[in-house]
Amino acid sequence: MPRFFIEVAYKGTAYAGFQVQQNANTVQAEIEKALSTYYRQDFSLTGSSRTDAGVHARQNYFHFDAAIDPAGANKAVYHLNAILPADIVVKQIVPVKDGAHCRFDALSRRYAYTIYSDKDPFMEGMGFYYPYDLDLELLNEGARQILAATDFESFAKRNSQVHTFNCSIHESEWEREGKQLVYYVRGNRFLRGMVRGLVGTMLKLGRGKLTPNEFSAIIEAKDPTKADFSMPAHGLTLLGVSYPEGFLGGL
């Protein structure tokens, strides 16, 4: 049966996360429902990157197997977006080779966490209002330490069911964008709660509540009780998922 990747974007505020859950509405549930309505058959999607309740995505992917006409994919995108709620959009549906996997074939994921220090009603739900002075150089000292690290057990929430806490981080940097501070991080994989744990702990560094040596000790401790996971989900956005060149070029 042919396999397809479906590229989506969404505002996560109204959803209990990306992946289907019992007794809770999710992004995956809405997209499966829309596909089933349009194609009049059941769909079961596999996601590339899970996002928690309230987290947004500018680009995420599912894959699915279905006996549908690839030539009609563009028409399907229009109709699926008419069915879907306003806070979810399908960008494209792409036929891929047999065995292609949107999660395991991904090379990296890139996230942004946005904070703002001046009250702004237009940022509500899309960033974290944090009205404190922050030292950008200290924040980037923490970001550089993250770039050099490989074991992120200290930044994985308890009961993370993984075989390894090792991640390869390729980008880790804070940037000032107008009145906002944005943390950009890109890696081959991320642990449950990892980005929010990194941000929360770095904010302590940026406020002078931790020294660079103390921040380094938290990384090395491999103890998540030492990190700060209190950052709200709505400040976090999955910016994109990358695949090998030509991977999504069709068959």
In this predicted model, what pLDDT tens digit does every residue of 14-64 receive, in sequence order? 998 777 666 778 999 999 999 999 999 999 999 888 778 889 999 999 999
Q: Which residue has the higher pLDDT, 75 or 22?
A: 75
The β-bridge relationship of strands 128-129 and 108-116 is parallel
Per annotation, catalytic residue among 52, 65, 69, 151:
52
Verify that 67 and 146 share a domain, yes or no: no
Residues 6+ apart with CB under 8 A from 153: 165, 222, 223, 224
- Specify the pLDDT at position 250: 54
User: For the segment 188-239, what is each residue's pLDDT rounded down to a tens digit?
Assistant: 999 989 999 999 999 999 999 999 999 999 999 999 999 999 999 999 999 9
Average pLDDT over residues 113-142: 95
- Specify the pLDDT at position 70: 84
Verify that 160 and 201 share a domain, yes or no: yes
Query: Does residue 52 have an active-site annotation?
Result: yes
- Specify the pLDDT at position 160: 63
Verify that 97 and 212 share a domain, yes or no: no
Average pLDDT over residues 128-144: 97
Q: How many domains does the chain have?
A: 2
Question: Which CATH number do you get for residue 97?
Answer: 3.30.70.580
Verify that 86 and 26 share a domain, yes or no: yes
Q: Which residue has the higher pLDDT, 246 or 117?
A: 117
Verify that 96 and 128 share a domain, yes or no: no
Q: Would you say residue 245 lies in a domain?
A: no
Verify that 69 and 154 share a domain, yes or no: no
Rounded CA gap, 56 and 13, in Å? 7
Verify that 86 and 121 share a domain, yes or no: no
> How many helices (H) does the chain have, and how many strands (E)?
5, 9
Q: What is the mean pLDDT of the chain?
A: 92
Q: Please state the separation of Cα 41 from the chain's center in Å.
A: 29
| Domain that residue 152 falls in | 108-239
Question: Which CATH number do you get for residue 203?
Answer: 3.30.70.660
Verify that 83 and 156 share a domain, yes or no: no
- Of the three residues 40, 71, 104, the one that is the final residue of a domain is 104
Rounded CA gap, 229 and 74, in Å? 41
